[in-house]
């Protein structure tokens, strides 16, 4: 029985060309890119070339008087934390922050810390499909928040959020918007300028790049506090990893070269999996099925089953999936995202208890999907007989 990996929202394996690019950069023996000598300048040129290519791929403004800035970070969590702290500052007491009810733990966890430090945090609700309710935003904007943070695509349900529309509502009030695009970059086109946001988070290991590197796009001219301190004037001080920067650049270039094909194929495979499951199991429903969704993410509620028992049984059967965000995998509590959808009338308690996430990658095959569907349905039938 071959293992089937359907947890690509947690992480993806680097593509061979990415691994080779990193290996070649390691073999080149680059110096510290902050050093002033020629070996250091050589390393810095490679980092800056990678930075420029990645920023351009994401629709950032790379020229002009105030070009957008790409901070190279350790990944999505650091980028999200940095985004919130950058605008709220080192002494945030008395400030106000707006986030959605479906954010990643790296946003919600930091927001809870900020609340303990005196920041007022408002949470935008979602509708029954898991889409942020823009009609609730004007009332919150009237309270003059310092920042609004809403993810671009949900990591659990795959439901896409109306971030461009939200940013357009915020801009007349002078309120910057941050979006966590971690699950969207490398899966669908992302245009930083067209979105109209001030900050955007992404990370390489979600689109078959190396682990340990991500990015935070920052609008040109935006006044922001650094998260770390070290090199004078640096927004993100520390020794840049030339090798990881090269690997992330290669990963995003590979996606660009086959973006349309990858998206169409993953969407077809996702639909194939969902159709096979729901056709055979009348108690299974697809969460967010009526909304626009990411092509590679499927959250299926197996009503009447326990999500953790199902996930463990699937793991034993060689199907790797998730009961929610990998960053909250140690929790036995129901997903806040699904609870928010349930509060809007979109999910029953039984659906929330039985929801499992399947997520596809660039190398997922139709044969794997068909095999996975058979294993999933077989296990569901066995578990239901025990109920």
Of 221, 236, 257, the last residue of a domain is 257
**pTM to 2 decimals?**
0.95
φ/ψ bin of 233: left (φ > 0), alpha (ψ from -120 to 50), beta (otherwise): left
Q: Of 203, 229, 257, which residue is a domain's last?
A: 257
pLDDT exceeds 60 at position 140: yes
| Per-residue pLDDT tens over the stretch 229-283 | 666 556 676 788 999 999 999 999 999 999 999 999 999 999 999 999 999 999 9
Name the band, by pLDDT with cuts 50, 70 and 90, for residue 324.
Answer: low
327 a catalytic residue: yes
Total structural domains within the chain: 2
Give the pLDDT of residue 37: 97
Tens digits of residue pLDDT in 155-180: 999 999 999 999 999 999 999 999 99
Q: Which CATH number characterizes residue 288's domain?
A: 3.90.1150.10
89's tokens: 């500052």
DSSP class per residue in 242-305: HHHHHHHHHHHHHHHHTHHHHHHHHHHHHHHHHHHHHHH-TTEEETTTTS-B-TTEEEEEETTS
Report pLDDT for 336.
94
The verdict on 133 and 251 lying in the same domain is yes
Query: Do 227 and 104 sit in the same domain of this protein?
Result: yes
Question: Which of the following is catalytic: 170, 299, 321, 327?
Answer: 327
What is the domain-level CATH number for residue 90?
3.40.640.10
pLDDT band at 385 (very low <50, low <70, confident <90, very high): confident
Domain boundary, last residue among 233, 257, 281: 257
What domain range includes position 338?
4-12+259-385
Tens digit of each residue's pLDDT (9 = 90 or more) over 23-80: 999 999 999 998 999 999 999 999 999 999 999 999 999 988 999 999 999 999 999 9
Helix locations, the chain, DSSP H: 16-28, 38-57, 76-88, 105-116, 137-141, 163-170, 192-195, 242-257, 259-280, 307-316, 336-343, 349-353, 366-386
């Amino acid at each position: 029985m071959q293992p089937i990996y359907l947890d690509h929202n947690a992480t993806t394996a680097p593509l061979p060309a990415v691994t080779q690019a990193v290996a070649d950069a390691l073999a080149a023996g680059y110096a510290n890119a902050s050093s002033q000598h020629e070996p250091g300048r050589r390393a810095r040129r490679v980092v800056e070339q990678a930075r420029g290519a990645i920023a351009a791929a994401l629709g950032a403004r790379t020229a002009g008087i105030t070009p957008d800035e790409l901070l190279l970070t350790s990944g999505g969590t650091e980028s999200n934390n940095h985004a919130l702290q950058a605008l709220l500052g080192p002494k945030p007491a008395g400030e106000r922050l707006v986030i959605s009810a479906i954010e990643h733990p790296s946003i919600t966890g930091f927001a809870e810390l900020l609340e303990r430090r005196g920041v007022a945090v408002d949470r935008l609700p979602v509708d029954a499909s898991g889409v942020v309710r823009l009609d609730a935003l004007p009332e919150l904007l009237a309270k003059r928040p310092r920042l609004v943070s809403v993810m671009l695509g949900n990591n659990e349900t795959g439901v896409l959020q109306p971030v461009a529309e939200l940013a357009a509502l915020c801009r007349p009030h002078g309120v910057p918007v941050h979006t966590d695009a971690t699950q969207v970059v490398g899966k669908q086109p992302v245009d930083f300028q067209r979105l109209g946001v001030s900050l955007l988070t992404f990370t390489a290991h979600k689109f078959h790049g190396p682990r340990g590197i991500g990015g935070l796009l920052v609008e040109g001219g935006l006044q922001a506090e650094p998260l770390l301190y070290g090199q004078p004037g640096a927004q993100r001080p520390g020794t840049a990893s030339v090798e990881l920067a090269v690997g992330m650049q290669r990963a995003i270039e590979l996606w660009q070269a086959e973006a349309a094909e990858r998206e169409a194929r993953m969407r077809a495979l996702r639909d194939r999996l969902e159709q096979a499951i729901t056709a055979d199991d009348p108690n299974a429903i697809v969460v967010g099925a009526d909304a626009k969704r990411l092509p590679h993410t499927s959250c299926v509620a197996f009503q009447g089953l326990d999500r953790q028992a199902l996930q463990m049984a699937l793991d034993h059967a060689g199907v790797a999936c998730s009961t929610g965000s990998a960053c909250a995998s140690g929790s036995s509590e129901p997903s806040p995202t699904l609870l928010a959808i349930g509060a809007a009338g979109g999910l029953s308690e039984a659906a929330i208890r039985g929801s499992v996430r399947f997520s596809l990658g660039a190398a997922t095959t139709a044969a794997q999907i068909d095999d996975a569907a058979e294993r999933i349905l077989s296990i569901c039938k066995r578990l239901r007989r025990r109920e």
